Amino acid sequence: MPHDRLLDLLNAKVDTLTTAGTRKGLERVTRAVVPPADGKGPRFLLEGHGDRPFLRMNANSYLGLSFTADLIAAEEQAVRAYGTGPGAVRFISGTWTPHVALEQRLAAFHGREAAMIFSSAYATVMGLLPQLITPQTAVISDALNHNCIINAIRLSEPGEKRIYAHLAMDELERHLREASGACRRAIVVTDGIFSMRGDHAPLDRILALAKKYDRDYPENVLVVVDDSHGVGAFGKTGRGTEEVTASGPCDLLVATLGKAFGVNGGYVAGNRTFVDYLRETAPFYIYSNPITPGEAAAAVKAVDIVDSARGHDMLAHLRAMTRRFEQGLVDLGWETIPGEHPVVPLMVRNTPKTTQLVAHLFESGVLATGLGFPVVPKGDEEIRFQISADHTPADIDEALAAVRAFAG
């Protein structure tokens, strides 16, 4: 059957993305990893670029755990015991011992009663929020929340959807106060770490406001936090934004196994009743295969490493490399957003210049992500660098040297 008219329409839509500057384009393919040597961290070989090594500063692997022998051995052992795939969704026959062990370990790590794993953190948020949002619910969301939160709210039918300016606690309080007259329930939802900027939500203040207005809502005020970029990478023990802000536990904590923990999958941790309810209602959990038993076993090992003296040393090194790079940018006269999180934005504030600098970095053997208008507002154009615990001082200095050599 011909599809010429539809294909013409789809081609036109792709062309529109190209014109707008929002098309992602071709994906670079990593074909090999060169192990650390001579005081430098791992290097990456890309398809089409021969044996030229690249320094990776555009990955969420904040601790470099995906290359550690411990995780690889744990996954290999589980694959030999349980096979390469779960075989079914979990309520049919897809739950294996490593899945249960991982959920118990995550609950203990976060000091929660229970946890449940999903195929990704994106699926976790998409599966969670619509099951808690009713036509009598006010959803109150930070303006810079991740796309998964935005789409989960779109998938729901809240009584009211309210957006507060980024980190504006006065606006959040106003929304909580105003919505109480019309809604029985309120859900305040926020990223823990905002992935494009590396700044974090003031969870201590958010939880205090939720407590202040909780009595005004017959079905309570819930605080849901997606700390996918924070857990495992932020705080002295890697417990993320809750640890850094000393906020105490939010009601439902979403995080990922695919960033600092170096594996795959997402999860939510919280009260056992919440988790039991979500197991029965969240379609992204019920109707989708879980991560493999091997991935679950590797993730248990990753949590064990983070929750140990070894992990704390890795986190201390990560903070040191972040400070080194951040200070280096400042010394070179560039603007950044200061903070301890290993996302370090270089604020270029000009789209063409951002594009030029990303191209220069690539030619210098450094992989970094440029964000230009209209992906970010005009004037907020940036290059997002991501530091990893497998970066060395020599790596940081190499990246800074590449920035220094830019003549744009």
Active-site residue (options: 66, 120, 195, 228):
195
Q: What span, in angstroms and rounded, lies between the C-alpha atoms of 296 and 228?
A: 17
Nearest to 296 by CA among 5, 134, 96, 143: 96
Catalytic position from the list 259, 301, 317, 341: 259
Where do runs of H (alpha helix) occur along 111-195? Answer: 121-132, 147-155, 169-179
How far, in Å, CA of 186 to CA of 173, rounded?
A: 12
Q: CA 343, CA 323: separation in Å to the nearest integer?
A: 11
Q: Assess whether 259 carries a catalytic annotation.
A: yes
**d(Cα 165, Cα 174) in Å, to the nearest integer?**
12
* Secondary element (H or E) of residue 117: strand 114-118
d(CA 406, CA 388): 23
195 is catalytic: yes
**One-letter amino acid for residue 172 of the chain:** L
Spot the catalytic one: 99, 175, 200, 229: 229
The closest alpha carbon to 287, from 134, 97, 94, 77, belongs to 94
Which tokens is 201 given?
A: 């939500």
Burial classification of residue 193, based on how many CB atoms lie within 10 Å of its CB (0-12 exposed, 13-18 middle, 19 or more buried):
buried
Beta-bridge mates of residue 349: none
Is 229 assigned a catalytic role?
yes
19: enclosing H helix or E strand? helix 4-20
* Residues tagged active-site: 195, 229, 259
